[in-house]
Amino acid sequence: MIEFFTEYGLFLLKAGTIIVGIMLVLGLIINAGQKQQQAIPKGEMRVTNLGDAIKERSQVIQHEVMSKHQFKQAQKRDKEQEKAKQKEEKQQLKALKKADQKVDSGETASETRARVYVIDFDGDIEASDVESMREEITTILSAANEGDEIMVRLKSPGGMVHSYGLAASQLQRVREAGYKLTIAVDEVAASGGYMMACVADKITAAPFAIIGSIGVVAELPNFNRLLKKANVDYEQHTAGDYKRTLTMFGENTSHGRDKFKQDLEETHQLFKSFINANRPQLELDKVATGEHWYGTQAKELGLVDHLKTSDDMIIEALKEKDVYAVKYTIKKPISERLSVSFSRGMERLVNRLLHRSSRQDLFK
């Protein structure tokens, strides 16, 4: 049995060495590509009228399922509606110009058609999308008018505390600027993902979306005993009692473990305080246990406000407002894109393996 564990430990060390080697190679590739990055534009902002996009796709279906006469009639109705919309917009512009010229008269102009700006956040452990989201929010806030709204289609299982803290702070900018913020969760908003979601004026979720996980976790393996059996010495020198509390290769102490647990508890308290400040109606003792719930359960607990998909939200908004998808794409060197793809792929693989091994409520 001891031989088995020794061989298994050596296998882990070899595997770790290979992984470290791969990461070093990727690091060299990234560093080499950074010189090219300066010559590449930082990013590109794309704005898509979702109403027009949906209409175009609908016309494709209509062309196939309708007779020629029906299709022509449908197109005629669409053109008439578009003309009426353009006429209304012209009248609103004239009214606004008239109001500007007659400010002292006390006349008020009719308001322009309100807009909903839709942005997407697909979260990983490092909340990498925050760089794009901050540009999107900055651009929207510089162009938005009174009455406009922002909707974030959020998907995130959480990750690093500081990264998701920054992401939540970016969303707070919307609230502080006086615009309504809606978070739509179709799949998952857990841990740091829910930290972001709770900032919103309104949270919607699909019935089977995963919500909650208001907790903090940290874990690491320790190879100290294995190193001792292999007669390998490991030294670590620090200045400050708590510069390192737990380590992978050194001998951990109860003193270090207590401090590590204390840090986790303090972080959890900060997390709960943030949730309480943004959603004071929640019973924290009931929901801040680290558990997660599906959308219907989350609605009962008050973690979300409505059960609805983002698609339904957009279609509903289109009845009275113009809806635009805003996406800022950061252009990165191919070396960096490959390294990010590799990292995310490994992250998804590990998460799937852990999920399959620890969860039984799967559709099979």
| 268 CB-near residues (< 8 Å, 6+ apart) | 215, 216, 288
259-297 b/e (C-beta count within 10 Å ≥ 16 → b): bbeeeeeeebeebbebbeebbeebeeeebbeeebbbbee
The end-to-end CA distance of the chain, in Å, is 36
Q: Is 243 a catalytic residue?
A: yes
Spot the catalytic one: 132, 156, 163, 191. Answer: 191
SS3 (DSSP) at 29: helix
Coil/strand/helix, residue 1: coil
* Helix or strand run (H / E) with residue 304: none
3-state secondary structure 212-263: ECCCCCCCCCCCHHHHHHCCCCCCCCCCCCCCCCCCCCCCCCHHHHHHHHHH
Q: Residues 332-364, buried b or exposed e (16+ Cβ, 10 A)?
A: bbebbeebbeebeeeeeeeeeeeeeeeeeeeee
Tell me the C-alpha distance between 81 and 55, whole Å. Answer: 12
Please tell me what DSSP assigns to residue 105.
G
Catalytic residue among 243, 319, 357, 364: 243
Cα(96)–Cα(90) distance, rounded to whole angstroms?
10
- As a dihedral over the C-alpha atoms of residue 295, residue 297, residue 299, residue 302, rounded to 10 degrees, the angle is -130
Structure tokens at 263: 């840090």
The residues assigned a catalytic role are: 191, 243
